[in-house]
Structure 1
């Protein structure tokens, strides 16, 4: 069981924890959480609830995820933790030589080139098949209704629509971007907060995926539409790439932190970064949360972990260093010894060699799921397949065109991936799911949430509400509004380059569900930085 103090809440102006006895669904959008709760009340389990919420989020938060994105999940079911890697690979026709022949020195961030195989639809079907209870098609009902009948734009979504269209308006765009505007700004204006929005093409596509058990996306009419549009605009993703894809069940990886086990999906995900940082911090004396020494050690540990992660983490089939070596006690001791009194420039070590939405759900039978999906960088590539609502992800943008790098582009390879679900256990018993959306903030958020819970005994809502920092690069660290000024000034004196970011959305948006300390029911928290909501039963 967790050891948090339910009465310790140092942020009294914000919301408190939420409790439930029979089930709980926590995510960033109230309507999506309610969609998940509806499945629980129909007799579904936590996986059904999370899938209904996740599918709904492709409609309700299209600026953060979509039908053309990827998915990862950790599920406690049947007395064990299951991991699903639903990230798609690079197309078979996409290679370093081909791109250099076209004159590229780096992979474009947006457009038709950086498309990879979307893994989310197949992952929905696979999770439902193996661990769900309700019929697969039933999970799509709320999402299809929201898409057909419309829903009001929430404050966070309104802000993100403005941000995304401001970003794309500044790009030099080709015709492949036209459908982005046709789909999400059909009258020449992006939706604003409070305005009702309908996405009829999303509804049609989701209905096709539901009725075909996702086969239409990879082998049928939707695959044909994707293939034709990509070919028309000179891209690389083909219907053969789609047909060859299947999500992969994997063994989750973990480190022991204090008296707990913290679990992540193995590479190609960046959950390794969170685990490496915690493995280092586990060897350091941590005295209190809002203290200079603690913040300094946290930042230095995450810098070391990112240096190694960005150097070594890629598709597990192409890793030059094993996960066990990177997570070994000896290597953690070696890296911990590098943390001194002043900030340093992070560099990779030499280990021994041998956009995003998050959903947490739990049911009365003890099944719990940590699920995360994303298109990456908001709308992803900016490419939307005509008449489908499918916004395609741009994960290939993270590959390197330097063939000496671990994450070098290769046909059929999965890139270093930013989205990561987390799960906490103690003594082999489940405590619960947790997660933070937000690109490279995610492992940093995982570290801060886990330490807030375990080291500083904060309840789930307090652990989420606590002011955050985010390491950016070199010695630069962003602090969000509310981070104490005296600590910011003290970190500056230690050599950290401190910047203030006025947007709390930059520091991630997360949710937590823990089993109650007595083992009966659940207690949860959700972000005050977004429109987060916990639906309970």
Structure 2
């Protein structure tokens, strides 16, 4: 498989994301005089219509913004319903309270024991409030203007992109067998005669158009305290859901300070927990202490994998909602702790467990403007169509982010009322000596920190620009010693044999979605931007 894309070079601004029509929406905002946040928001809002298997109005959002002088982080994730308890989940899933569940098992305990579909994993959608809050702080054009294209696509329809159609088909197949009144609306909204729309087939969602208009006209107030909130409250009450109007009314986004580690003379930035960005930072911190020049390609890849395993082990053990549990973020990113973890990387594939640093499925986009503002934004309902619960008459699915909770009562991420779960979606940003290089991200659940590590390494160790760094062949680790590689890596002489000799169980994966979908924009020293988009999906990088 070849990835023939060339980078985009733009003198003024750029937008890049996984759906070309959405990228065009953001570019149009830039050309009309909007800034990078305006463009990112218009793109994100359009993506709920243009790529609904991966994100929707009922999802969450995280963002990093370079305002021209410094970085800002927004956690626009929702919390669990106030009525949700661990005991309720155990009863609903047929477990006994005394039964050991969801044992941590280090980085290998990647599959949460929470149910993935239906009402139990539904958390309050944070995306509409996130759109409003980003706009209130940084936006320069009227909020309602950012919805125009999304409403038009929802109301009049559009031909579905090929990559989106493939994801859509997998989501519809996953819906088969889901029985209950809470699932009744899904087929009416998201299927065509019971199937997913085919590539190029026109699809409309007029109910979503009406919902987006209400959000636009009320600054998202209607979603949390108005007619949409009332409809959601009523639907949950009728069909066994726990979310209430009070849960929606209590929702708030949280402004946070991004966290970073040094890597090859740069600063790599992620958002703090409850996201898994610290897993990528931990891995990069470990790798930064290794002499790349002394390592061959196979040994370097092996050490990347082992560092990533250690990063996941710590993230899965310690990451939780910092408002509800102590999270040792600073200790995890301490150079001394990274050195101690680095010493655990050997010549053999390992099965790492979490350390003790101190005792006691998604769309991604980035945008940049002529004034130097840059945005890294990620938005998701999780898995394909989230919970598969669709609010009748409103045209959107609710996320299933609650499946990221644990059922282990001693884990900091244990399911509890009004709590944010462990989040997989993570925006990234790169600086050098405090000056911006640019936003980047790779979406795809458990792949995301691995994609961040591989993209940053390709850029900083390999000297590649954003497009070439995205096109570089990838590997993926999920659990145990199984390691998936793309065909291009398998074709490198001796690479697979060398990895197998170290104990990795290597398999070649032909399905590109396994390896995530990424975007990146770098600032050019001479002015303007270089942008890259994912070659494995319907991505587009557009600029002017």
Query: Per the shorter chain, which TM-score range?
Result: over 0.9
Map Cα deviations across residues 156-197 of structure 1 (whole Å, 9 max, x no partner): 01111111111211x342221121111011532320001011
| Deviant stretches of 4+, over 6 Å | none
Equivalent position of 2:476 in the other structure: 470
Partner of 1:210: 216
**Hey, what's the Cα distance between the residues in 2 that align with 1:334 and 1:173?**
50
Hey, what's the Cα distance between the residues in 2 that align with 1:471 and 1:99? 29
Distance (whole Å) between structure 2 residues aligned to residue 336 and residue 40 of structure 1: 44
Name the SS for the 2:236 alignment partner.
Answer: helix
Aligned to 2:433: 427
Task: State the Cα distance separating 1:398 from its structure 2 match.
Answer: 1.4
Cα 1:260/1:96, change in 2 over 3 Å: same
SS in 1 for 2:488: coil
1:491 aligns with 2:484: no
Q: State the SS of the aligned residue for 1:116.
A: coil
1:244 Cα deviation from its structure 2 partner: 0.2
- Give secondary structure in 2 for the equivalent of 1:190: coil
CA distance in 2, matches of 1:150, 1:195: 10
Contact 2:425 2:448 in 1 (8 A): yes
Query: Can you give the 5+ residue segments of structure 2 that lack an aligned partner in the other structure?
Result: 96-112
**Residue in 1 aligned with 2:518?**
510
How far off is 1:12 after superposition? 7.8
For residues 480-507 of structure 1, give each alpha carbon's deviation from its aligned partner in whole angstroms, at most 9, with x where no partner exists: 2322343122111110111222100111
Matches within 5 A, 1:323-334: 323-334=329-340
Could you tell me how far apart the structure 2 residues matched to 1:189 and 1:476 are? 34
Partner of 2:26: 36
- Are positions 1:500 and 2:514 aligned together? no
> What displacement does 1:99 show?
2.4
Give deviations 1:347-399, integer Å, cap 9, x for gaps.
11111247200110000000000000000001000101001112000011111
- SS of the equivalent of 2:292 reads coil
1:159 and 2:149 aligned: no
The residue aligned with 1:79 is: 69
Tell me which of 78, 84, 101 is aligned to 1:88: 78
Q: Offset of 1:95 from its aligned partner?
A: 0.6
The answer on whether the counterparts of 2:3 and 2:471 sit within 8 Å (CA) in structure 1 is no
Q: Report the equivalent of 2:43.
A: 53
Q: Is the 8 A contact 2:172 2:191 kept in 1?
A: no
Query: Where does the alignment leave 5 or more consecutive residues of structure 1 unmatched?
Result: 1-10
1:8 paired residue number: none
Of stretches 484-493 and 459-468 in structure 1, the one that deviates more from structure 2 is 484-493
- How far off its partner does 1:285 sit? 1.7
**Aligned ranges 1:383-462 → 2 under 5 Å:** 383-462=389-468
Q: TM-score, normalised by structure 1?
A: 0.96
Which stretch shifts more, 425-434 or 226-235? 226-235
Match among 128, 148, 170 for residue 121 of structure 1 = 128
Query: Secondary structure at the residue paired with 2:114?
Result: coil
Offset at 1:133? Answer: 0.4
Maintained 8 Å contact 2:187/2:194: yes
Q: State the number of aligned residues.
A: 525
How far apart are the structure 2 equivalents of 1:214 and 1:119? 10
Deviations 1:377-429, CA, capped at 9 Å, x for gaps: 01000101001112000011111122111210111111110000000000111
Contact 1:322 1:353 in 2 (8 A): no
TM-aligned CA deviation for residue 13 of structure 1 = 5.5
C-alpha separation between the residues in 2 aligned to 1:389 and 1:271? 31
For residue 540 of structure 2, the aligned residue among 514, 533, 537 is 533
Alignment check: 8 A CA contact 1:140 1:210 kept = yes
* Contact preservation (8 Å) 1:481, 1:504: no
Q: How far apart, in 2, do the equivalents of 1:535 and 1:290 lie?
A: 36
- Work out which of the residue numbers 73, 88, 91 in structure 2 matches 1:98: 88
Q: 1:289 to 1:34 in 2, by over 3 A?
A: farther
Tell me, in whole angstroms, the C-alpha distance in 2 between the residues paired with 1:479 and 1:378.
23
Note if contact 2:328-2:357 (Cα within 8 Å) is conserved in structure 1: no
Q: Distance in 2 between matches of 1:417 and 1:13?
A: 30
Contact 1:68–1:390 (Cα < 8 Å) also in 2: yes
Give the deviation of 1:36 after TM superposition.
0.3
Q: How does 1:109-258 map to 2 (within 5 A)?
A: 109-169=116-176, 171-258=177-264
Distance 2:360 2:139 in 1: 37
TM-score calculated relative to the size of structure 2: 0.94
Contact 1:264/1:271 (CA < 8 Å) preserved in 2? yes
- Hey, what's the Cα distance between the residues in 2 that align with 1:530 and 1:417? 23
* C-alpha separation in 1, matches of 2:361 and 2:235: 23
User: Could you tell me whether the CA contact under 8 Å between 1:464 and 1:511 is conserved in 2?
Assistant: yes
Residues 1:332 and 1:319: Cα distance change in structure 2 (over 3 Å): farther
State whether residues 399 and 409 of structure 1, in contact with CA within 8 Å, keep that contact through their aligned partners in structure 2: yes
Q: Is the 8 A contact 1:66 1:375 kept in 2?
A: yes
Does the C-alpha gap of structure 1 residues 213 and 13 become closer, same or farther in structure 2, counting only changes over 3 Å?
Answer: closer
Instruction: Check the 8 A contact 1:325/1:354 in 2, yes or no.
Output: no
> How far apart are the structure 1 equivalents of 2:490 and 2:510?
14
> Cα distance 1:258–1:82, how it changes in 2: closer, same or farther (>3 A)?
same
Query: Mean Cα displacement is larger for which, 369-378 or 106-115?
Result: 106-115
C-alpha contact (below 8 Å) 1:312/1:319 kept by paired residues: no
Shift of 1:289: 9.3
- Note if 1:67 corresponds to 2:73: no
Distance 1:292 1:244, change over 3 A: same
Query: How well do the aligned residues superpose, as a CA RMSD in angstroms?
Result: 1.4
1:108 Cα deviation after fit: 1.2
Question: 1:5 — aligned with what?
Answer: none
